[in-house]
Chains A and B, each alone.
Chain A
Amino acid sequence: MVKVRLEGITKIYGNIVAVDNMTLEIRDGELFTFLGPSGCGKTTTLRLIAGFEYPDKGKIYLDEEDATYMKPYQRGTAMVFQNYALWPHMTVFDNIAYGLKLRKIPKSEIKERVKRVLELVKLEGMENRYPTQLSGGQQQRVALARALVVEPKLLLLDEPLSNLDAKLRVEMREEIKRIQKELGITTIYVTHDQEEALTISDRIAVLNKGKVQQAGTPFEVYNRPRNMFVATFLGRSNVVEGTVVETSGTKVKVDVGFAELWGVTREEYLEAVQKETKVGVVLRPEHFTRLPGENEFNELQLKVIFTMFAGMRQEVKALIDDTELLIYYPPTIILHPGDIFKVYIPVEDTIVLPL
């Protein structure tokens, strides 16, 4: 197992900066995810780590060894591709055994290890099938087995689940998480699916325009976004602009027009968020409650514009002064257009960020 360190990695294609001065550390044994919209540089970064491309600047360290310009086959990484990249002219057994044969491992041991890894991915007895005879989920498992069987120091997964249907995707991601924990292997996972990223990862790096916007645990990046991009990219959020009227430590009071809201900002912004500065306030729809809680809260009175019933909740578009807000309301109390209702939002979930 290995820890990965990226130091000021930059990669350009033509005059487009794909990865922009990226510095990151991926800890030994963790499942680390690159999350971001398409074109944010997540796959490029993965390919740089795998050695399919070389950076234009910066260094890549695997443990303490400089791996920046190592050939792909010298790095001891194993990658699972978005399209699985199973070789159609080989059976499942030959696909999986390929890496072992290259390592000149004796035949009997190859057989043993292929058998073990097939058990791990729950594909016992499929050795002699060809990839085309397998379902999408099974192909995915073979691709994973092929990567795992060589006992890589680092497992790289490039949007491995994006070609599967919704139900299978949920199953497979639990499966990947289980296997990863079982083997304790350092894993880098690339996805644009935030739910996938949040559920599977130990830590997430949210990328945009080749830069790390925020790196942290799923809880941190979701509930304590570091900037507007992260706040709006993950989940749904209402963003209202306002002016700071009062500060007390990280607690800030913001005049947003329809109300004065108490919120919290991050310590790194203490300097930037002063009285009179313009700021953005992020209110996630699921943080609103029907009844006041025990902690400090803001209180809002709104008028329903329309509602959408979504099973486990009721999505309400409501108006306060001229501002539209999206609020998730319990599904058991039916609201109608024109109803006036009250909601509460805890101060700690009212996130104040510099614009």
Chain B
Amino acid sequence: MEITDVPREKVYRIIVLVTSAIFYYAHYLGYMRVSDAVISAIFLGALYYWLKVSSYKEMSSSEIYQYYTNSMIFMLSTLYAIIMIPMEARGPWGILGALAYASLTYAAGNFVLWLSYIYEHMKKYLAVKKAERELRRRLQLRKPPLLKRIDPLMISFTLLPLTIMTIFLLIPVTIIIKNAFIPPQGSSDYLYWIKEVFTGTNYVRPRPLGDFFVVDNVGGVPVLYLGGARITWNMGILINSLIVATTVTLTATLFGLILAFIMARYEFPGKTIMRVLVLVPMFIIPFANGIALKALLSSEGFLSVLLHDYLKLLPWRIHLQGLAGVMFLQIMTFTPIAYLNSYSSFLNIDPNLEEQAENLGAKGLRLFLTVTLPLALPGIAAGSILVFIFSLEDLAGPIVFNEHNLLSYQIYSRLINEATQGRVLPEIAAAAMILLLFALMGFAIIRSYVSLKQYAMISKGGRWKPRSRKLSPIGTVFAYIILLSILMIASVPQVGTILLTFGLLTPYGQLTPDTFTTNYFVNILESPNINVYIKNSLLYASLALLLMLAISIPAAYAVSRGRARLLAILDALVTLPIAIPGLVVAVGLFYFYSSWPFRGTPFDPTSINVYNAMYVLVVAYGVRKVPFMARSVFAGLQQTHKSLEEAAMNLGASRAKVITSIVIPLILMNILTGILLGFIYSTTEVSVSITLGGIKQEQAPLTWYMKQMVISGTQAVYNVAALGTLLIIIQLVAVMIIVLGFKQSYAFISL
């Protein structure tokens, strides 16, 4: 085989450089001696090269990349990290830290590879363009006159969403990056704040503070404090965030994968009921879910008492604290996302592909590992990265569990403190930029990974009958045990919220079946003090929907029908908000709106007198949640063949007429689905709502009020739960309309 791909050669060298830099960083933090770092980097580099050359006989270099390098980088850097960590810092958490560090190496290497693919792609594209230019010259061709080629409608369909997304998403994010490099007063060190976030003791601790597991006797009962007792366990803000996000991602993906496989591939009695039950954990109820979980898994909480005192399954009662609480809550909240993505990728596998493998003799685990899993992997990977990003940016969990040592909480608390003083320090910008960096890196890894493994599944067009097997009675029992245990864990927050709402559960977690009341629920609807927030949220969400429609329909149409190169950017821009943490948007908007040209307008959060949260939130909801609607509309357009439009055009319809009479009616269901999703996601938005949304109390949205009540104390918790129940009802109605009315799938959260 010829060695043709020079760019990849360069990549290997760059990886060595990047790895060295990371080793250097490890050295700086005291994890390893500098000589070790240098030797390891050289060794790793040599190993890549050896792998590459030695495998050339049978494989293409991309195969080497896929099958060997990835796993090697990961394994080796883990090994090195563990070896190199000073003895006294090892222990179980030292190894976790090392793993986090190894993942970072892995991610950085992948990121560089991803860049190289962009580079290769660009080069290929430019080569084709050059060949085209030469051909045009040789054949003496000229492009059709400009005025004939461009379609004013298509141009505005491209420019309108592009402009909105640039102004309200790209510019604010760019400002954050710019501000992160502002040196502190009297210094000229542009990297000061970034170094602070990577090396400051608050952000990165060489050794954990406190213990993760603490067993204590409380009134004669042994209680296991998960996440630490008086001092919560803490590895530093940055490392904490990474540990939480990694743990949550792996666990939620595993749970989701298992659930999805059973649901997609097996037939058993009661499956229809299970299908409905799986929907329960999907309801998004910020704050309320945390309160329910915190109550149920506390030293007096019902679940703790049940597991220890009654079922005798555990030697102690469990009390969730700090990071452990955040992790538990996020695993429960995000398992459905992993489930939905895995489920739809299992269903999307052409059964013929698996049947062919079976026909050749593969079965059982081998079939799953060699055919099914690789085919489903892009979808599963997309789900996990969403979980990773959502976990990084989650605010409700840290607020409920009062865990301050996370990037998201830090950014949030300092933003609201400093916003009232009218200026925000560059340290927040640096932290926000790094949060963004991690989210984008995850996004990039998955994107490159998925595009590398673009398994084109050739189908005959129509949807196939998915493979599913009938389970034996014993199999059914096993399936139920697995399904129910995961589902029970995942739906604790929803069930707890409803119990709290109707007074069946106390804020300390005791079950009180005899105190049923609907007062709390009626109260939130009737009390003018509370329902003003409901009204605010409904108003903002409805207006945001109009904005989303104005962005999504033109953007999706232009992307699916147009040919211009610019459209790839537009496509990325309307998808990107998924990967941008809400807090980053909030910080960016704060900077953006408090300067020219918004200074002194109702957008400006520093001009309290004229500020109006409505303007800010409508735009923020619209821009942040646009991917959900855009994907929905885009999916509809992809199912609609272009010839349907050409037929109309051919019969005398202009493009505008085609869109109103053919396109819109055909994708109406997708638009309505998008509207419902956009509505759900807007009303449950947290990051911008509780920061910029709470500047003027009377203009604040629902989630801001829920956060206030969580902070304020015990009795107010009932109101939060009641509002959570209200959100469940809204979502239940929407899901029913989508599933039963539009016959659309609910698997919307996918990249």
Chain A interfacial positions (CB closer than 8 Å to B): 10, 12, 14-15, 17, 21, 50-52, 54-57, 68-69, 71-73, 77-79, 81-83, 85, 87-89, 98-99, 102-103, 146-147, 150
Closest chain B residue to A81, Cβ basis:
B643
Of the candidates B142, B657, B666, which one forms a contact with A87 in the assembled complex, judged by CB atoms under 8 Å apart? B666
Chain B interfacial positions (CB closer than 8 Å to A): 128, 131-132, 134-136, 139-145, 148-149, 641, 643-644, 646-654, 657, 661-662, 665-666
Cβ contacts A to B, 20 pairs, < 8 Å: A12-B132, A12-B135, A12-B141, A14-B128, A17-B135, A17-B139, A21-B139, A50-B650, A51-B650, A52-B649, A54-B149, A57-B142, A69-B145, A71-B654, A73-B650, A83-B643, A87-B662, A89-B665, A98-B648, A103-B652
Cβ contact within 8 Å between B646 and A85: yes
Cβ contact within 8 Å between A150 and B666: no
Of the candidates A55, A78, A102, A147, which one forms a contact with B653 in the assembled complex, judged by CB atoms under 8 Å apart? A102
Which A residues are CB-close (under 8 A) to B643?
81-83, 85
Alpha-carbon distance between A89 and B663 when the two chains are bound, in angstroms: 10
* B640 shortest CB reach to chain A, Å: 9
* B158 shortest CB reach to chain A, Å: 19
Cβ contact within 8 Å between B651 and A146: yes
Closest chain A residue to B648, Cβ basis:
A98
Which B residues are CB-close (under 8 A) to A146?
647, 651
* B582 shortest CB reach to chain A, Å: 38
Which A residues are CB-close (under 8 A) to B649?
52, 71-73
Closest chain A residue to B651, Cβ basis:
A99
Which A residues are CB-close (under 8 A) to B650?
50-52, 72-73, 77-79
Which B residues are CB-close (under 8 A) to A89?
665-666
Given A87-B662, A99-B652, A102-B653, are A56 and B646 also a contact pair (CB < 8 Å)? no
* A78 shortest CB reach to chain B, Å: 6
Of the candidates B128, B139, B646, which one forms a contact with A57 in the assembled complex, judged by CB atoms under 8 Å apart? B139
Closest chain A residue to B141, Cβ basis:
A56
10 nearest A-B residue pairs (beta carbon): A99-B651, A15-B131, A85-B643, A54-B144, A85-B647, A56-B141, A69-B148, A102-B652, A73-B652, A81-B643
Given A12-B135, A15-B128, A17-B135, are A56 and B143 also a contact pair (CB < 8 Å)? yes
Known: A15-B132, A56-B143, A89-B666. 13 other contacts (CB 8 A): A50-B646, A54-B149, A57-B141, A69-B148, A71-B649, A72-B646, A72-B649, A73-B652, A73-B654, A83-B641, A87-B647, A89-B665, A102-B652
Which B residues are CB-close (under 8 A) to A88?
666
Which A residues are CB-close (under 8 A) to B648?
87, 98
Closest chain B residue to A149, Cβ basis:
B651
Which A residues are CB-close (under 8 A) to B641?
83, 85
Which B residues are CB-close (under 8 A) to A102?
651-653, 657
Cβ contact within 8 Å between B652 and A150: yes
* A74 shortest CB reach to chain B, Å: 8
Alpha-carbon distance between A143 and B653 when the two chains are bound, in angstroms: 17
Alpha-carbon distance between A14 and B128 when the two chains are bound, in angstroms: 7
* B308 shortest CB reach to chain A, Å: 60
* B562 shortest CB reach to chain A, Å: 14
Q: Please classify the interface of chain A as helix (H, G, I), strand (E, B), loop, or mixed, using the class held by over half of its residues.
A: loop
Cβ contact within 8 Å between B145 and A78: no
Alpha-carbon distance between A72 and B145 when the two chains are bound, in angstroms: 16
Which A residues are CB-close (under 8 A) to B662?
87
* A89 shortest CB reach to chain B, Å: 5
Of the candidates B136, B145, B654, B666, which one forms a contact with A12 in the assembled complex, judged by CB atoms under 8 Å apart? B136
* B639 shortest CB reach to chain A, Å: 11
* B320 shortest CB reach to chain A, Å: 52
* A246 shortest CB reach to chain B, Å: 42
* A340 shortest CB reach to chain B, Å: 47
Cβ contact within 8 Å between A73 and B665: no
Alpha-carbon distance between A55 and B654 when the two chains are bound, in angstroms: 20
Cβ contact within 8 Å between B144 and A56: yes
Of the candidates A52, A87, A103, which one forms a contact with B644 in the assembled complex, judged by CB atoms under 8 Å apart? A87
* B667 shortest CB reach to chain A, Å: 10
Which B residues are CB-close (under 8 A) to A50?
646, 650
Cβ contact within 8 Å between B141 and A79: no
Given A15-B135, A85-B641, are A98 and B646 also a contact pair (CB < 8 Å)? no
Cβ contact within 8 Å between A73 and B647: no
The residue in A21, A52, A72 that gathers the most chain B C-beta atoms within 10 A of its C-beta is A72
* A186 shortest CB reach to chain B, Å: 16
* B133 shortest CB reach to chain A, Å: 9
The residue in A12, A71, A81, A85 that gathers the most chain B C-beta atoms within 10 A of its C-beta is A85
Closest chain A residue to B661, Cβ basis:
A98
Alpha-carbon distance between A146 and B140 when the two chains are bound, in angstroms: 40
Cβ contact within 8 Å between A69 and B144: yes
Closest chain A residue to B125, Cβ basis:
A14
Alpha-carbon distance between A188 and B52 when the two chains are bound, in angstroms: 56
Which B residues are CB-close (under 8 A) to A150?
651-652
* A51 shortest CB reach to chain B, Å: 8
Alpha-carbon distance between A57 and B132 when the two chains are bound, in angstroms: 14
Alpha-carbon distance between A71 and B144 when the two chains are bound, in angstroms: 13
* A313 shortest CB reach to chain B, Å: 34
Cβ contact within 8 Å between A55 and B132: no
Which A residues are CB-close (under 8 A) to B142?
56-57
* B134 shortest CB reach to chain A, Å: 8
Alpha-carbon distance between A348 and B494 when the two chains are bound, in angstroms: 88
Cβ contact within 8 Å between A57 and B665: no
Closest chain B residue to A53, Cβ basis:
B144
Alpha-carbon distance between A57 and B141 when the two chains are bound, in angstroms: 6
Closest chain B residue to A80, Cβ basis:
B647
Which B residues are CB-close (under 8 A) to A83?
641, 643
Given A14-B132, A85-B644, are A98 and B666 also a contact pair (CB < 8 Å)? no
Closest chain B residue to A77, Cβ basis:
B650
Of the candidates B140, B149, B651, which one forms a contact with A73 in the assembled complex, judged by CB atoms under 8 Å apart? B651
Alpha-carbon distance between A102 and B643 when the two chains are bound, in angstroms: 18
* A71 shortest CB reach to chain B, Å: 8
Which A residues are CB-close (under 8 A) to B666?
87-89
Which B residues are CB-close (under 8 A) to A56?
136, 139, 141-144
* A16 shortest CB reach to chain B, Å: 9
Which B residues are CB-close (under 8 A) to A98?
648, 651, 653, 661
Alpha-carbon distance between A289 and B226 when the two chains are bound, in angstroms: 95
Which B residues are CB-close (under 8 A) to A12?
132, 135-136, 139, 141
Which A residues are CB-close (under 8 A) to B145?
69
Closest chain A residue to B131, Cβ basis:
A15
Given A83-B641, A102-B657, are A10 and B651 also a contact pair (CB < 8 Å)? no
Alpha-carbon distance between A240 and B132 when the two chains are bound, in angstroms: 39
Closest chain B residue to A52, Cβ basis:
B646
Which A residues are CB-close (under 8 A) to B136?
12, 56
* B638 shortest CB reach to chain A, Å: 15
Which A residues are CB-close (under 8 A) to B149?
54
* B279 shortest CB reach to chain A, Å: 29
Of the candidates B131, B132, B135, B647, which one forms a contact with A81 in the assembled complex, judged by CB atoms under 8 Å apart? B647
Which B residues are CB-close (under 8 A) to A57?
139-142
* A185 shortest CB reach to chain B, Å: 15
* B741 shortest CB reach to chain A, Å: 16
Given A55-B144, A56-B136, are A79 and B647 also a contact pair (CB < 8 Å)? yes
* B132 shortest CB reach to chain A, Å: 5
